[in-house]
Amino acid sequence: MHHYSQGKSTKQAHKAIPEGFYEEEQGLKGFFGPVSHLIKRKPSTRWSQIEGPLRPHLFDLVKLELKPEWQRLLYNHQLTISMAQHSSGLSDHAFKNADGDTIYFCHQGQGHLLTEYGLLEYKKGSYIIIPKCIPHQFFVEKATQFLVIENKSSHYEEPERGMVGRHAVYDINAIGKPNLELLDQFIEKHKIETTKVKIKHNNEFTHFMYNETIFDVVGWKGDLFPFTLHVDDMMPLMSHRSHLPPSAHTTFVARDFVVCTFLPRPLEEDHDALKVPFYHQNIDYDEVLFYHDGDFFSRDNLHAGMMTFHPAGFPHGPHPKAVNNVKSKTHTDETAVMIDSRQPLKKDPILDGVEFNEYWKSWQT
Ligand SMILES: [Fe+2]
């Protein structure tokens, strides 16, 4: 399809929007596909009433009572998003997920992870990536809360860096690799004998018991192994002249969803650049945003541990106060994890108890 324009339009998206007007991006394929920018007289979020199930959601996950078992929050056939909490100490079993790859994002806490490939370390802000079927056992040093993102239809991959090169976003050398020598030392120091493996397969649990420890690997080679990546080792892409779409912050790619990380960064410098997220309809994707840390100025009344869920099908954008707040800011100071799902997500009933039912009104001035 050829590019076409009528009436008021901008030369560059998200920049020099005519005074007193609002831009809305309508795009396919999650910021990669055909896209148009509409210049409107009013913000796209000016609904006066919503009747029916399609609506934006805000949840306060801090109010959930969490356990080491994953508490499912949102799900479909390709993906589950859960929370889990571990108190200090060694888990009494290793866990193996035969349903898919697992990302644990450490929202709070600190500790180690024992795997057959070696010892991994994690702390607040670490992603831990565990490929399907790899046993892992937590040794928690500081009470830990994880956002858990289970990939049931593919395997996690790095994002395409394209024209910005292989070392953009994060250098592969920054990943935390499993250390077999440290694992042996750790097991000896803490006198660990792991003889139980809990396996999740088809959402059912089976326990395998052994007479001797399962950690008996003396060496390995290959490119399949668990690893960590910390937000401090991630280098956000940006343009000092115009706002880049969320896809610029992609951290891991799955077949049916992406995981993005929004990090503290300077705001755009051009006087006519949009500095808050643009109004948009991300037509093909359900969007989930987990607020990890910092000052979330783009929305009102947000604190760390909250999660928004914006199903595809309606436009969204910054809250009115954010548009004013940003005028005095030169940097963002927020760290958030976004999961964009190609297939619609369902809400677990447990979220009903921690939902702000008036969230859909929060864009009204
Ligand atoms: Fe969005």
CATH, residue 341: 2.60.120.10
Q: Is residue 44 part of a domain?
A: no
User: Residues 146, 198: one domain?
Assistant: yes
Cα of 97 from ligand 1 centre, angstroms: 30
Cα of 280 from ligand 1 centre, angstroms: 6
Cα of 17 from ligand 1 centre, angstroms: 19
Q: Is residue 19 part of a domain?
A: no
User: Residues 211, 266: one domain?
Assistant: no
User: Residues 104, 246: one domain?
Assistant: no
User: Residues 225, 243: one domain?
Assistant: no
Q: Which of 248, 254, 229, 232 is nearest to 105 (CA)?
A: 229
Cα of 247 from ligand 1 centre, angstroms: 10
Q: Is 227 exposed, middle or buried (0-12, 13-18, 19+ CB in 10 A)?
A: middle
| Location of structure tokens 């035969």 | 98
Last residue of a domain, one of 195, 214, 231: 231
Cα of 38 from ligand 1 centre, angstroms: 16
Cα of 282 from ligand 1 centre, angstroms: 6
Cα of 209 from ligand 1 centre, angstroms: 46
Give the per-residue pLDDT at 319.
83
Tokens of 328: 């005095």
User: Residues 244, 225: one domain?
Assistant: no
Tokens of 237: 């892409």
Q: Is residue 178 part of a domain?
A: yes
Cα of 340 from ligand 1 centre, angstroms: 9
Which alpha helices (H) appear in the chain, and where do they start and end? 180-189, 320-325
List all residues 6 or more positions away from 109 whose beta carbon is below 8 Å from its beta carbon: 86, 122, 123, 124, 140, 141, 142, 143, 144, 145
Tokens of 61: 């996950």
User: Residues 220, 242: one domain?
Assistant: no
User: Residues 33, 165: one domain?
Assistant: no
Cα of 311 from ligand 1 centre, angstroms: 9
Question: CA-CA-CA-CA torsion for 347, 352, 354, 358, nearest 10 degrees?
Answer: 100
How distant, in Å, are the alpha carbons of 76, 141, 254 from that of 103?
16, 19, 11
Cα of 316 from ligand 1 centre, angstroms: 6
Residue 85's beta-bridge partner residues? 145
Q: Is residue 10 part of a domain?
A: no
Cα of 222 from ligand 1 centre, angstroms: 38
User: Residues 152, 190: one domain?
Assistant: yes
Cα–Cα dist 214/237, whole Å = 42
Last residue of a domain, one of 231, 255, 286: 231
The continuous run of DSSP H or E covering 112 comes out as strand 101-115
Q: Is the Cβ–Cβ distance between 284 and 342 less than 8 Å? A: yes
Three-state DSSP at 252 gives: strand
Domain span at residue 324 reads 24-39+53-58+237-359
Give the per-residue pLDDT at 79.
98
Cα of 287 from ligand 1 centre, angstroms: 6
Q: Which of 269, 348, 268 is nearest to 309 (CA)?
A: 348
Cα of 261 from ligand 1 centre, angstroms: 13
Give the per-residue pLDDT at 358.
92
Q: Is residue 254 part of a domain?
A: yes
**Residuewise pLDDT in 10s, the chain (365 residues):** 689 999 999 999 999 999 999 999 999 988 888 999 999 999 999 999 999 999 999 999 999 999 999 999 999 999 999 999 999 999 999 999 999 999 999 999 999 999 999 999 999 999 999 999 999 999 999 999 999 999 999 999 999 999 999 999 999 999 999 999 999 999 999 999 999 999 999 999 999 999 999 999 999 999 999 999 999 999 999 999 999 999 999 999 999 999 999 999 999 999 999 888 889 988 999 999 999 999 877 666 789 999 999 999 988 888 877 777 777 889 999 999 999 999 999 999 999 999 999 999 998 87
Which residues, chain by chain, have CB under 5 Å from ion ligand 1?
282, 287
Last residue of a domain, one of 208, 231, 254: 231
User: Residues 259, 293: one domain?
Assistant: yes
Three-state DSSP at 129 gives: strand
Q: Is residue 315 part of a domain?
A: yes
Cα of 348 from ligand 1 centre, angstroms: 21
| Location of structure tokens 């937590």 | 138
User: Residues 96, 172: one domain?
Assistant: yes
Cα–Cα dist 35/101, whole Å = 32
Q: Is residue 261 part of a domain?
A: yes
User: Residues 132, 257: one domain?
Assistant: no
Cα of 281 from ligand 1 centre, angstroms: 7
User: Residues 215, 277: one domain?
Assistant: no
Total domains in the fold of the chain = 2
Q: Is residue 90 part of a domain?
A: yes
Please calculate the CA angle 348-353-356 and round it to the nearest 5 degrees: 100
Cα of 317 from ligand 1 centre, angstroms: 7
